[in-house]
Structure 1
């Protein structure tokens, strides 16, 4: 029996998830996503190349937005989870407190330092190896700190009175020296081969030098040595290379019956600015039978301009005058990503790193499958 060939209309219908006033419809329930009984859905590289698309919407250093079109939700979500939890970065793990007479307790100060995002040479980060932490059962089982697994930072600040402060000055930053301790006070001390990888702009340093760490007063001092290691977000959020990594489905808006005049203006206000526009009804449209525009030449009609900006609030479905005139939905294979980097990687490079990791995981799974079948 030859496989069924669905019509283009049916294929378009399957792509849209229906958004109703209180329900969501057309959610696939097949055993395998995108596969339908009686049809041939064998995977083909050429077909995937023709259907898959990448569109960039914004590409800044710390913030990127782009669309992946033609993927299944499982793959799209895998990229998101890898971005958050499996791309390795550098963060402060061990804090050795030599002196801390500030009002902040040692453990609280160490926690604040660990959450400061760091940046440095990506080549150097790839060169570094993993630092194995000791276990409770065997304290001596961990790695020995070395140039290839540990980066040393230091924080040494002492607050003193400013003899040149103006009489009656109330601002502590002018009244004292080093009244505020910032991330810029953290210094990098390379050892061994680190001097080859982490040089110039590639030196290990806080992404934002203006992060406030503590406030000091005269005779208070902080002296610490900070050891940084490679880690992943699955171990601790401080290792996550992204502040946010999210995706949403592309909104779909279809005006199925004409919306004219004051209703069109009201309809446009139900959506974010730029989603719905107003256009005059042409003579040709007004003269066409059963178009719904008969006798309304020159009046304003509602048209969909840019569904990308829509937030799918369903506001238009609350009004009786728009009943049966509009259909809302989302395109199930059009994923709009927003990736905000913490600074170790550029935002667009981050996604490429997630692709590399997924390829390695697939290769590892393939090797394991081959070993099972032997």
Structure 2
């Protein structure tokens, strides 16, 4: 990181070619005289990655200084190409619940499993036999029965044993060296309290589940993210001072925290842009004619604000490095392909 995010924001103020208006007509190459030459040194100077918020399941970070194609490729790789492990095949030995076999199997497939995909291999093919290196086995065996002495109860949890089937009831059945390999990190559902189906006395669920490694491009159940999105940083340009009688109205045109009224060096109250990150670009301010020539709404075209929510297989701070590794491998494959192409052309000549 060559400079701080605050330095980048100050730098942006004097680079109008990096600012795109809210309208859809603004895109790279739209401005006359815009410089499209690429310099590695300039790229390093402009590149900024700054984590704004990190929780056990979410990460919000800023990526500054890259093209929209790179930003979108990173987002798409996180959604569709970072692999995870999910239940892929289910053998239904018995299911007398009210839920159909197909629906219950589909719900089983959508359970996020706490298995590190980096310790797992892809199956060679859909028809290849399962192996301890590419398959995890889980059993789900639950039977509902009435509790003795519960005739006057109305709560199903007090009336019956196992009236609700939860993800925590999945039992991992290790194969080969799996028990040693995953000792202390036993595979399990990310959340043990996800409801799968409800049972009543005499109903049984007995299923044999095979989990494999896959990507979101194959099926959404393999996607490691619940959401992975980005937006451009709003840029609110005040073209002149807001009259005192309109300042509160101007402030209310934006979400709380975006515009603040502060005193200038002369002690006069003035509207200032405090936190443009909170702006939703609602354009409400443009509805009022008194503000028509005093404000311009724009977005900084190479300042991307990402919000990524992990399903639980990866820590949120691990998802971006994993996506970058995949992108780098793609670039490497393209380079190798080009090398072969040019070497074959040279040999032919």
Whether these two folds match at TM > 0.5 is: yes
- The root-mean-square deviation of aligned C-alpha atoms, in Å, is 2.0
Instruction: Tell me how far 1:203 sits from its aligned partner.
Output: 1.6
Could you tell me whether the CA contact under 8 Å between 1:157 and 1:223 is conserved in 2?
yes
The equivalent residue for 1:156 is 141
Partners in 1 of 2:322 and 2:121 — Cα distance?
A: 17
Partners in 1 of 2:26 and 2:82 — Cα distance?
A: 35
The equivalent residue for 2:119 is 127
Could you tell me whether the CA contact under 8 Å between 1:35 and 1:41 is conserved in 2?
no
Aligned length: 333
Gap change, CA 1:191 and 1:85, over 3 Å in 2? same
Q: Secondary structure at the match of 2:201?
A: coil
The equivalent residue for 2:327 is 358
Could you tell me whether the CA contact under 8 Å between 2:12 and 2:18 is conserved in 1?
no
Instruction: Tell me how far 1:10 sits from its aligned partner.
Output: 10
Could you tell me whether the CA contact under 8 Å between 1:169 and 1:175 is conserved in 2?
yes
Deviations 1:278-305 (A, max 9, x none): 113442xxxxxxxxxxxxx54x321110
Instruction: Tell me how far 1:26 sits from its aligned partner.
Output: 3.2
Gap change, CA 1:196 and 1:9, over 3 Å in 2? closer
Partners in 1 of 2:342 and 2:87 — Cα distance?
A: 43
Partners in 1 of 2:92 and 2:79 — Cα distance?
A: 30
Deviations 1:52-109 (A, max 9, x none): 0111111112100000010000100000000000000000000001111111111111
The equivalent residue for 1:189 is 173
Q: Secondary structure at the match of 1:174?
A: helix
| Superposition pairs of residues 217-366 of structure 1, within 5 angstroms | 217-283=200-266, 298=268, 300-366=269-335
Asked if 1:16 is matched to 2:19, the reply is yes
The equivalent residue for 2:346 is none
Deviations 1:93-136 (A, max 9, x none): 0000111111111111100111111112x2xx2232211444xx
| Superposition pairs of residues 39-188 of structure 1, within 5 angstroms | 41-44=37-40, 46-120=41-115, 122=116, 125-134=117-126, 142-165=127-150, 167-188=151-172
Instruction: Tell me how far 1:362 sits from its aligned partner.
Output: 0.6
Q: Secondary structure at the match of 2:165?
A: strand
Partners in 2 of 1:47 and 1:143 — Cα distance?
A: 50
Instruction: Tell me how far 1:242 sits from its aligned partner.
Output: 0.3
Instruction: Tell me how far 1:239 sits from its aligned partner.
Output: 0.2
Partners in 1 of 2:147 and 2:55 — Cα distance?
A: 41
Q: Secondary structure at the match of 2:325?
A: helix
Instruction: Tell me how far 1:11 sits from its aligned partner.
Output: 6.8
Segments of 5+ residues of structure 2 without an aligned counterpart are 1-10, 344-349
Partners in 2 of 1:190 and 1:36 — Cα distance?
A: 64
Tell me whether 339-348 or 167-176 shows the greater mean CA deviation: 167-176
Deviations 1:154-201 (A, max 9, x none): 100000111143x5211111100000000111111111122233222x
Q: Secondary structure at the match of 1:226?
A: strand
Could you tell me whether the CA contact under 8 Å between 1:190 and 1:198 is conserved in 2?
no
Q: Secondary structure at the match of 2:236?
A: strand
Instruction: Tell me how far 1:237 sits from its aligned partner.
Output: 0.3
Partners in 2 of 1:269 and 1:127 — Cα distance?
A: 52
The equivalent residue for 1:216 is 199
Instruction: Tell me how far 1:322 sits from its aligned partner.
Output: 0.4
Instruction: Tell me how far 1:13 sits from its aligned partner.
Output: 1.2
Partners in 1 of 2:38 and 2:200 — Cα distance?
A: 70
Q: Secondary structure at the match of 1:103?
A: coil
